[in-house]
């Protein structure tokens, strides 16, 4: 609507300018400035451009305030942590069924991660808290010495966080997987770490702490889900195989019992029945002989 209105207004103004230009070149053409102004004003009102532009100004103001609120939130560690948890939960709910993950529950030795995943290898703990104060200072620094100082501080902050996660949440003996995730809710920060602190990330990956961003975590969640499904199918196959083996054993037992019954009881009964049948036939022959004597 607003784009169409601005286009029409541009056409009107362009027409007015052309008309004025023609008037300059040909003085005989009379132009009434008040009429031109009135026509433009009337077109402005008819198209309700004043309302549209007022609405646009309000939207711009709202976006500006939202951006300011986000900047303020990212400066506040508590609100930044809550933002990371919300984004993390949204990712988990998008990629996994409710039965495969949990939020803010005690998982190991009374410790409560921000989230965890029920994987085939154990519970994968996820921490979404991340130190960004020195990173923000690093990005705002204009002098090289200040940048290097804040870069070192940020590296120390990150290493401290990763070391704490490794200590708290990489506990295979207590039911966790052999690794945990440190979730960085910002692709910008994650890219910086991959580019500038690759050795640090690689070191703690070997220790069992993987740093992930929204994009990389999404890929890992799909792999974890596929692994769980494959494990479930494997368990089902093993269960079916065990049931078949159990049925096979029962069939062997039944066959053994039938053989025993047939070879002893049923066969003996058949032999006895044959003997009785033979005796009956003998008796019938004797009766026949007696009948012959009477005749």
Does 183 or 276 have the greater pLDDT score?
A: 183
Average pLDDT over residues 250-255: 68
Lowest mean pLDDT among 100-109, 117-126, 170-179, 227-236: 227-236
Percent of the chain whose predicted confidence (pLDDT) is above 90: 28
CA distances in angstroms from 106 to 44, 84, 102, 129, listed in the order given: 63, 19, 10, 17
Residue 203 in this model has a pLDDT that exceeds 70: yes
Lowest mean pLDDT among 9-23, 227-241, 255-269: 9-23
Average pLDDT over residues 168-197: 92
Percent of the chain whose predicted confidence (pLDDT) is above 70: 53
Residue 66 is predicted with a pLDDT of 43
H helix runs in the chain, sequence order: 2-25, 33-46, 49-75, 77-95, 133-140, 144-169, 187-196, 198-207, 214-260, 267-294
Residue appearing with tokens 């998008």: 94
Residue 22 is predicted with a pLDDT of 47
Does 37 or 152 have the greater pLDDT score?
A: 152
Residue 133 is predicted with a pLDDT of 86
Average pLDDT, the chain: 74
How sure is the predictor about 183, in pLDDT bands with cuts at 50, 70 and 90? very high
Residue 185 is predicted with a pLDDT of 87
How sure is the predictor about 72, in pLDDT bands with cuts at 50, 70 and 90? very low
Residue 232 is predicted with a pLDDT of 59
Q: In sequence order, what are the residues at sequence separation of 6 or more whose Cβ sits closer than 8 angstroms to the Cβ of residue 204? A: 159, 162, 163, 166, 210, 211
Residue 200 in this model has a pLDDT that exceeds 80: yes
Average pLDDT over residues 55-68: 51
SS (H, E, C) 20-33: HHHHHHCCCCCCCH
| Residues 120-137: tens digit of each pLDDT | 888 999 998 888 888 888
| Residues 209-228: tens digit of each pLDDT | 999 999 999 889 988 888 77
Residue 116 in this model has a pLDDT that exceeds 70: yes
């Amino acid at each position: 609507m607003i784009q169409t209105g601005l286009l029409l207004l541009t056409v009107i103004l362009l027409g007015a300018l052309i008309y004025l230009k023609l008037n300059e070149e040909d003085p005989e053409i009379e132009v009434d400035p008040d009429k031109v102004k009135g026509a433009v004003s009337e077109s402005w009102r008819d198209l309700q451009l004043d309302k549209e532009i007022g609405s646009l100004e309000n939207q711009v103001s709202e976006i500006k305030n939202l951006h300011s609120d986000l900047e303020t939130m990212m400066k506040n560690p508590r609100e930044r942590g809550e933002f990371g948890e919300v984004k993390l939960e949204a990712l988990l709910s998008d990629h996994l069924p409710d039965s495969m993950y949990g939020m803010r529950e005690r998982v190991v030795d009374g410790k409560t991660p921000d989230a965890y995943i029920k994987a085939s290898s154990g519970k994968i703990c996820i921490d979404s808290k991340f130190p960004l104060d020195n990173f923000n200072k690093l990005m705002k620094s204009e002098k090289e010495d200040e940048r290097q100082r804040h870069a070192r501080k940020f590296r120390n902050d990150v290493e401290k966080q990763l070391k704490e996660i490794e200590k708290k949440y990489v506990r295979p003996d207590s039911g966790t997987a052999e690794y945990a995730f440190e979730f960085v809710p910002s692709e910008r920060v994650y890219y910086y770490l991959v580019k500038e602190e690759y050795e640090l990330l690689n070191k703690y990956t070997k220790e069992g702490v993987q740093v992930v961003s929204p994009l990389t975590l999404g890929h890992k969640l799909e792999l974890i889900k596929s692994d769980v499904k494959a494990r479930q199918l494997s368990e089902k196959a093993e269960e079916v195989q065990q049931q078949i083996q159990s049925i096979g054993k029962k069939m062997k037992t039944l066959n053994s019992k039938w053989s025993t019954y047939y070879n002893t009881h049923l066969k003996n009964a058949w032999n006895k029945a044959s003997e009785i049948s033979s005796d009956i036939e003998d008796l019938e022959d004797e009766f026949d002989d007696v009948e012959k004597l009477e005749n």
